[in-house]
């Protein structure tokens, strides 16, 4: 009898133990539900950076070019200030109107730091100072849209073929006779601007300050794309640009 009771008790313990180890279906780990976003609306209103607006380029190879660093020796008494690429930059600004986005306006800005040139200063007679040719590698222009950059490079500026834009100064107006270090000077520089295979007269408004062996300054002008045979840009039913382009040259030059 006691043996039977013992066996029954042992079976009960085994059943209880097995029941405790039986896995249960626990709910899956809980993650917060994704929030509804306005990605569709945002993508349709990205007029500033919508790469789909510009057509794909014919090819995207960027030419390797040399801006050149050889200039004629300066005349006696002239101090040579060499423009420093990387610390200087040339930029363009042009208005874009997106026809497929309720005529939304955007200011497109492209920048390159690949610029080269010299400024020759006569401290004893500042009016004798001159500026050498300024060369800009426009194949390196970058903006907030890679497709815009490629379209400008391949279809409009054609900088894959004509990578260098050159400004050759012909006349400087408004330089004072004397100069004090640290004094800001403003003047006009007129010359020939060559874009692609077209050369047109252009005048820059220039301001600069000299401190020791360093000169910093800015030159600005406005040109028309149509004067150089590549604009205004129009992509049928999608985008039109203004004809007028603001060109800005912020420079650092050192002896």
| 8 Å CB contact between 154 and 139 | no
pTM of the predicted model as reported, rounded to 2 decimal places: 0.72
In a domain, 61, yes or no: no
Q: Which domain holds residue 140?
A: 87-254
Residue 11 has a pLDDT of: 46
Residue 19 has a pLDDT of: 45
In a domain, 202, yes or no: yes
In a domain, 190, yes or no: yes
In a domain, 147, yes or no: yes
Residue at token pair 């917060």 = 32
What residues have CB less than 8 Å from 109, skipping those under 6 apart?
A: 91, 92, 93, 143, 144
| Mean pLDDT calculated for residue range 224-249 | 95
What separation in angstroms does the CA of 149 have from each of 60, 92, 115? 10, 12, 18
Residue 132 has pLDDT above 90, yes or no: yes
Out of 40-54, 56-70, 131-145, the most confident range is 131-145
| Mean pLDDT calculated for residue range 13-28 | 43
In a domain, 13, yes or no: no
Residue 53 has a pLDDT of: 63
In a domain, 52, yes or no: no
Closest CA to 98 of 242, 243, 239: 239
Residue at token pair 């497709």 = 147
Closest CA to 90 of 254, 253, 255, 246: 246
Task: Give the number of domains in the chain.
Answer: 1
pLDDT digits (tens, 9 = 90+) for 42-61: 333 344 445 556 655 444 44
In a domain, 123, yes or no: yes
The DSSP-derived string for 80-145 is EEEE-BTTBEEEEEEEEEEGGGTTEEEEEEEEE--EE-EEEE-SSSGGG-EE--EEEEGGG-B-S-
pLDDT digits (tens, 9 = 90+) for 152-198: 998 899 998 999 999 999 999 999 988 888 999 999 999 999 999 99
Residue 163 has a pLDDT of: 96
Residue 200's CATH number = 2.40.128.110
Residue 252 tokens read as 């650092």
Residue 94 has pLDDT above 70, yes or no: yes
In a domain, 221, yes or no: yes
Instruction: Work out whether strand 79-83 and strand 118-121 pair parallel, antiparallel, or are unpaired.
Output: antiparallel
pLDDT digits (tens, 9 = 90+) for 95-130: 999 999 999 999 999 999 999 999 999 988 999 999
Quote the mean pLDDT of the chain: 80
| 8 Å CB contact between 169 and 189 | yes
- Spatial distance between the Cα atoms of 89 and 114, rounded to a whole number of angstroms: 7
The Cβ of residue 156 has, within 10 Å, a number of other Cβ atoms equal to 19
Residue 83 has a pLDDT of: 98
pLDDT digits (tens, 9 = 90+) for 219-233: 999 999 999 999 899
What separation in angstroms does the CA of 85 have from each of 100, 214, 249? 39, 14, 12
Residue 12 has pLDDT above 90, yes or no: no
For a pLDDT cut of 90, what percent of the chain falls above it?
A: 62
- Spatial distance between the Cα atoms of 220 and 167, rounded to a whole number of angstroms: 13
């Amino acid at each position: 009898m006691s043996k039977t009771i013992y066996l029954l008790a042992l079976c009960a313990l085994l059943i209880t133990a097995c029941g405790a180890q039986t896995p249960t279906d626990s709910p899956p780990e809980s993650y917060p539900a994704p929030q509804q976003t306005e990605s569709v609306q945002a993508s349709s209103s990205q007029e500033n950076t919508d790469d789909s607006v510009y057509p794909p380029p014919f090819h995207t190879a960027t030419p390797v070019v040399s801006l050149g660093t050889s200039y004629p020796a300066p005349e006696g008494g002239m101090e040579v200030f060499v423009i420093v690429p990387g610390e200087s930059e040339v930029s363009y600004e042009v208005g874009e109107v997106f026809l497929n986005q309720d005529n939304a306006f955007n200011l497109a800005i492209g920048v390159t730091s690949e610029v080269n040139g010299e400024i020759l200063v006569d401290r004893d007679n500042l009016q004798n100072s001159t500026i050498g040719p300024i060369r800009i590698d426009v194949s390196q222009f970058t903006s907030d849209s890679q497709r815009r950059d490629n379209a400008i490079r391949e279809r409009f500026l054609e900088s894959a073929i004509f990578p260098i834009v050159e400004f050759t100064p012909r006349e400087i107006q408004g330089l004072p006779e004397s100069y004090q270090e640290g004094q800001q000077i403003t003047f006009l520089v007129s010359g020939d601007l060559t874009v692609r295979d077209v050369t047109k007269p252009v005048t820059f408004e220039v301001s600069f300050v000299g401190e020791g062996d360093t000169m910093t300054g800015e030159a600005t002008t406005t040109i028309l794309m149509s004067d150089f045979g590549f604009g205004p840009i129009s992509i049928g039913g999608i985008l039109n640009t203004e004809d007028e382009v603001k060109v800005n040259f912020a420079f650092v030059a050192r002896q």
